[in-house]
Amino acid sequence: MSNIDSSITSKLYRYEALLQAIDFFTQRFDLEQLSNFAFEFANEILTLKSSALFISEDDNFVLKNRRNYSIDSYSVENDSKIQLIATLHGTIITTNLQQYFSPEFIRKFRIRLVIPLIIDDKLYGFIVSDGKAIGECDESDYVIAKTLMRLFNNSLENSKIFSELKTKNNELDEKIFNLFAINQSSKMLLSELNLENLYTIATDVFGEITSSKVTSFGIYNDTTNTIQIKGYRNVSTFSKYFTELKFNSNSYTDNKIVLDINEDIEIIKSLFINWEELLNLDAKYIILLVKEKLLGLVTLSEPVTNSTYKQSIFELIETLASFTYIALSNAMLFEEIKQQKKIIEKKFKTLVNLNKLVNNINHCTSIDELFELTLKALNISFGIKKAFIALRDNEKVYKIKDSKGVELRNYQFSINKHWEDTFSGETIYDFTESSCIQYFNEELYKGFGKTNCTVISPIIVENYSLSYESYPLGYLVVLKTKDSLQEEEILLLDTITKNISPVIYQMNIREQIQELYIEDPKKKFLDVLSSKIKERNEYLLDFNLYYKKVNKHPFEEVELHEYKGLEHYIVDNYVFVFTYEDLKNEELMKIPTPNTIDEFLNYQF
């Protein structure tokens, strides 16, 4: 009766223990915890004498826990034979142990029972024992062992599935965050068209998303063939560091755009001459902004947390690099359009000013007025600081008729062999400060003062032969401009001289016609005065000169009957009378007999 009661008590204890095990193993634990708890429950419920827990680690099953064994460490090779327990057997093992384990292992641990720990179709581990502490294992023990095995394995599988689900959820959350980060970052990058602001934004975006300690951003300069570091961010020192990376070539055909400073050092050396400068940027990774050609780069150091970058970060970085490349291209194109717009506006303004100048030129009534207006317009509208216009006096000698910015009027100079290209109408120019010394004599050169260019544009009013005597009628010479000389300014000066050339030609024709058919009273009077001065000097024929101011209307002729019989001339509002004897006429004022024409012209009437 006592044996029956003892058996019933033992079974009730086991069932209660099983219920506790079911309740316990339906809770969430990680695989390591579950394997240790399985080992403890198996020992408690089955009352094992000696037992050991082996868990898969790398290519072996390693001893993780033991009871009543004196072995501290032991490992069993994880080969295809032992994996047959999970794929073909799938339950506890009490016989044919040598089919799965080596004789040495069986003998060393005196194995009588093996409880496999299986996850899906892989053997995760196993519990070995040499039997019960009291008595031998019977059928009921094996039933309990199988039940415990299924409970352990289900719990392990659930834990693995839950762990994988949790990992997937974390990955999904990370991808959602990355998508959000890409969305916000791309908006900021693509909406910014100012290059300087874009450098700062790109540096901050890469630095924030990767948590890099030091982040730098560089842009390619095709003039110097270098990467110029325009953005720098150091979260530890908040310092600034700017440098240049010299290129071997900015062409890059490899698909790899994220380079590791250690693993990809050969690629880095092939791209940059002074690649050591990357070490001064604390660069661990270099992100190339490249499509057909390299446009720029971003460097990242170790993360602030001193951890390693995840693979998802590199995927995010590659996506950001593509958006940054597009943003840079857009900003550069926008900057180019702005510059083109400024150039077009400047050229349009130049054309408007040129049109005004041409209109004003066409309304000039004299050559002096034409030259004065031209130089004044060049100074005000086109920023010409020093210039002059000279007309040919005879052959190679030219006389400066008007000047701006420097007083050179009436100064004469001779042209030399350096002027020969102008004989065919070509404008010659030089962008250097001292270039004009080869065209002018030293005295005139010193009179120019400070210059920054030389532009010599010929004034040609007819087709000259190719002989050495064929010289232009005149020249427009520019010696100093507001800013450095531009090509459009040279074209402008050439256009102006070609516009004033026919005007000068027509004015010369008009003057010739006027001399032939229209009498100039002033010229006639001055010729007579010059003749009388000459006669006095040669033949001692002295004369008297009298004058009288009259109120003359522009469209009325003055009748002076009282001077009939006397040699008299009307010039502007004055009457001049020549005599060889003194006159007694109170209305006439006597002028001291002049010795030269200039003396007469300077007389204060």
CA distances from 303 to 67, 155, 237, 285, 594 (A): 45, 38, 15, 11, 100
CA distances from 98 to 13, 81, 82, 233 (A): 34, 10, 10, 65
pLDDT tens figures, 245-299: 888 876 777 888 899 998 989 888 888 888 888 888 889 999 998 887 788 899 9
Strands 226-234 and 214-221: antiparallel
pLDDT tens figures, 154-172: 888 888 888 888 888 888 8
Say which amino acid occupies 180: F
Q: Give the span between the Cα atoms of 127 and 118, in whole angstroms.
A: 11
> Do 368 and 358 meet the contact criterion of CB atoms below 8 Å apart?
no
pLDDT band at 2 (very low <50, low <70, confident <90, very high): low
**Residue 482 pLDDT > 50:** yes
**Residue 1 pLDDT > 50:** no
Helix pair angle (139-191, 311-361), 10° resolution: 10
Q: Give the span between the Cα atoms of 295 and 218, in whole angstroms.
A: 9
**Residue 550 pLDDT > 60:** yes
Please tell me whether residue 4 adopts helix, strand or coil conformation.
helix
**Residue 466 pLDDT > 50:** no
What's the DSSP call for residue 26? T
Residues 456, 457, 458: CA angle, nearest 5 degrees: 115
> What is the rounded average pLDDT of the residues 206-231?
88
For the ranges 380-394, 511-525, 563-577, which has the lowest average pLDDT?
Answer: 511-525
The answer to whether domain 2-163 and domain 192-334 are alike in fold is yes
pLDDT tens figures, 313-357: 888 888 888 888 888 888 888 988 988 998 888 888 877 877 877
Q: What pLDDT score does 469 carry?
A: 47
**Residue 391 pLDDT > 70:** yes
CA distances from 452 to 86, 386, 388, 441 (A): 92, 10, 15, 18
For the ranges 192-201, 214-223, 345-354, 506-515, which has the lowest average pLDDT?
Answer: 506-515
Q: What pLDDT score does 75 carry?
A: 92
Q: What pLDDT score does 320 carry?
A: 87
Own/partner pairs, 571-575, CB within 8 angstroms, 24+ separation: 571/521, 571/522, 571/525, 572/522, 573/549, 574/547, 574/548, 574/549, 574/550, 574/605, 575/547, 575/548, 575/549, 575/550
pLDDT band at 538 (very low <50, low <70, confident <90, very high): confident
Tokens at residue 189, please? Answer: 């990058």
Q: What pLDDT score does 521 carry?
A: 80
Say which amino acid occupies 538: E
Residues 113, 114, 115: CA angle, nearest 5 degrees: 120
> Do 217 and 331 meet the contact criterion of CB atoms below 8 Å apart?
no
Q: Give 192-334's CATH code, choosing from 3.20.20.450, 3.30.450.20, 3.40.50.620, 3.30.450.40.
A: 3.30.450.40
Q: What pLDDT score does 483 carry?
A: 79
Please tell me whether residue 18 adopts helix, strand or coil conformation.
helix
% of the chain exceeding 90 in pLDDT: 16
Q: Give the span between the Cα atoms of 102 and 100, in whole angstroms.
A: 7
Return the C-alpha torsion angle 286, 290, 294, 298, nearest 10. Answer: -30
Q: Where are the domains of the chain?
A: 2-163, 192-334, 367-516, 521-601
Name the average pLDDT for the chain: 84
Q: Classify domain 2-163 by CATH architecture.
A: 2-Layer Sandwich (3.30)
> Do 216 and 298 meet the contact criterion of CB atoms below 8 Å apart?
yes
**Length of the chain, please?**
605
**Residue 474 pLDDT > 50:** yes
Give the residue from 147, 165, 204, 433 showing the smallest Cα distance to 320: 204
pLDDT band at 123 (very low <50, low <70, confident <90, very high): very high
Give the residue from 286, 292, 290 showing the smallest Cα distance to 325: 290
The backbone torsions φ and ψ at residue 425, rounded to the nearest 5 degrees and listed phi first, read 100, 5
Chain centroid offset of residue 212 CA: 24
> Do 408 and 436 meet the contact criterion of CB atoms below 8 Å apart?
no
**Residue 121 pLDDT > 70:** yes
Q: What pLDDT score does 11 carry?
A: 64
Tokens at residue 101, please? Answer: 């384990």
Q: Give the span between the Cα atoms of 50 and 137, in whole angstroms.
A: 13
Which CATH homologous superfamily contains domain 367-516?
GAF domain (3.30.450.40)
Stated pTM of the model: 0.57
> Do 15 and 144 meet the contact criterion of CB atoms below 8 Å apart?
no
pLDDT band at 494 (very low <50, low <70, confident <90, very high): confident
Chain centroid offset of residue 293 CA: 15
Residues near 296 by Cβ (< 8 Å), separated by ≥ 6?
A: 217, 218, 219, 220, 227, 289, 324, 325, 328
Q: Give the span between the Cα atoms of 198 and 329, in whole angstroms.
A: 11
pLDDT tens figures, 553-598: 655 566 667 777 788 888 878 888 888 888 887 788 888 888 888 8
Residue 75 bridge partners (DSSP): 62
pLDDT band at 105 (very low <50, low <70, confident <90, very high): very high
**Residue 467 pLDDT > 80:** no
> Do 520 and 565 meet the contact criterion of CB atoms below 8 Å apart?
no
Q: What is the DSSP string of 109-172?
A: HT-SEEEEEEETTEEEEEEEES-BSSS---HHHHHHHHHHHHHHHHHHHHHHHHHHHHHHHHHH
pLDDT band at 476 (very low <50, low <70, confident <90, very high): very high
**Residue 63 pLDDT > 60:** yes
For the ranges 238-242, 247-251, 477-481, which has the lowest average pLDDT?
Answer: 247-251
Q: What pLDDT score does 554 carry?
A: 56
pLDDT band at 526 (very low <50, low <70, confident <90, very high): confident
Q: Give the span between the Cα atoms of 350 and 344, in whole angstroms.
A: 10
Residues near 295 by Cβ (< 8 Å), separated by ≥ 6?
A: 219, 220, 289, 325, 328, 329
Q: Give the span between the Cα atoms of 50 and 109, in whole angstroms.
A: 9
First and final CA of the chain: distance in angstroms? 167
> Do 153 and 117 meet the contact criterion of CB atoms below 8 Å apart?
yes
Q: Give the span between the Cα atoms of 267 and 286, in whole angstroms.
A: 11
Neighbours of 49 (CB within 10 A): 16
Q: What pLDDT score does 557 carry?
A: 60
Q: Give the span between the Cα atoms of 486 and 479, in whole angstroms.
A: 13
**Residue 468 pLDDT > 50:** no
The backbone torsions φ and ψ at residue 112, rounded to the nearest 5 degrees and listed phi first, read -120, -20
Residues near 532 by Cβ (< 8 Å), separated by ≥ 6?
A: 541, 543, 578
Residue 478 bridge partners (DSSP): 387, 455
Q: What pLDDT score does 556 carry?
A: 58
